[in-house]
Each structure stands twice: as C-alpha cells, then as structure tokens.
Amino acid sequence: MKFGVVVFPGSNCDDDTVGVIESLGHQAVKLWHKETSLQNCDFIILPGGFSYGDYLRSGAIARFSPIMDNVIKHANDGGYLMGICNGFQVLVEAHLLPGVLLRNNSQKFISKNIYLKAATNQSLITQSLDLNKAYKVPIAHAEGRYFADEKTLEDLKANDQILFYYCDENGQVNDVANPNGSLFNIAGICNAGRNVIGMMPHPERAADPDLANIDGLEILKQLVL
C-alpha cells in the first residue's frame, strides 16, 4: 500500500508519520500542500502540527490548500483518509467528518500522555484492537474538545462511528480521564462510510521502542493488517 502524507506550512509530525509507515514495510511519500497530485497514493494522511500557524481556527486555512480538492475527491470516492490532531481539525473544517473541535475547556494548550480505548472493532484502525485495553498515547493541542449537536451525537452512536474514547489507565471512561472536555470523552471518529478517520491523540509519537512506548504503533499497525 502506498501512503501519502500531506505537508502544510506548520506541519510538524509529517516525518514521524512517514517513519512509522515505512517501519511497517509500506511506501510513504510527502505531498506538498501547493501541489494537486496525490501521486497514486492509496491512503492519505493529514498529520499533526500547526498548519498556517492555526490562524482563524485550527485547520480552517489548510482546508483550502490546493491539494485538498483532490484529497476530498479521494475520500468521496471511497479512498482511505486519516487526520491526526491538526489533520482531524482539517477534516472537520472540510466537512469530511461531522462536528467541530473547540478550544480545550482549560483554555490552555495541553501536551501530555493520556489513555484512550477503542470503542469498536468495526473500523480499519480499530479492527483488532483490544476493546478493554487502555493505550497510552500523547496529545498536544489547544483545540481538541470534540463538540457536535445532539442529532449528530445520536447518529455517531447509532452508526458505530465513535472509534476512541479518552479513559484512565484502567480503561474507565470518566470525567477525570477527559483531558479537554470532549463530549462523551470522544477522542476519535469516522465518517458513515468508514473510510475517513480522525483522532486527536498522536499514535505516531508512541511508536518507537526507544521512547519506551509502542502503544501508538499497535494502533497504526491496524491500517496495514
């Protein structure tokens, strides 16, 4: 499988993402935001960072980068697309995923390890994850508080589109384990077609034995099973 990692001005997790994909034995190329070609990539990833300095709203300007027309077409045609942190913000700005990502309820940037658990096995990225395991993965965001109206939340639940919840180290989903105030502790979702994935935590930053944590690698391995 060939992966394309889009690079916006301000992206800072592109090299991490490429490195993990290559460590899994698959080709990964960088796609510059001003280009339009997806270089025949099968799977597109929008990485973390601070695209365009997070001016206006995080992801709001990147959504209009030249490459995004073909990224959106790729997703609408059923191609796989994943956004991590800032990439998730771009996906909601592009209306490829429902809801919005608001400022953390603390009104502060948060960078720390958290725990999350898979909510379902009915998606590519969670297909064989242990639903009872708490995976330790870092977050680094100021606008990560997932919010949606009641109808959207009902649809997400009914369609099994919630992929990850913030939890404690024992796998308990509760307010104490919620780092940013996301509704229902939501840390990741997918679209109704299940080919567009967004998550705020950074699995690519927990994918190297030298960091003494490969929980993120276990998550990203799901993409290539």
Could you list the active site residues?
A: 85, 202, 204
With contact defined as beta carbons under 8 Å apart, do 145 and 103 qualify? yes
Rounded alpha-carbon distances, angstroms, from residue 174 to 69, 87, 96: 39, 26, 28
Check if the beta carbon of residue 167 is closer than 8 Å to that of residue 56.
no
Among 132, 123, 138, 136, CA closest to 202: 138
Q: How far is CA 85 from CA 128, 135, 170, 177, 200, in A?
A: 22, 17, 24, 18, 4
CA angle 223, 156, 2 (to 5 degrees): 20
Distance of CA 14 to the CA centre of its chain: 13
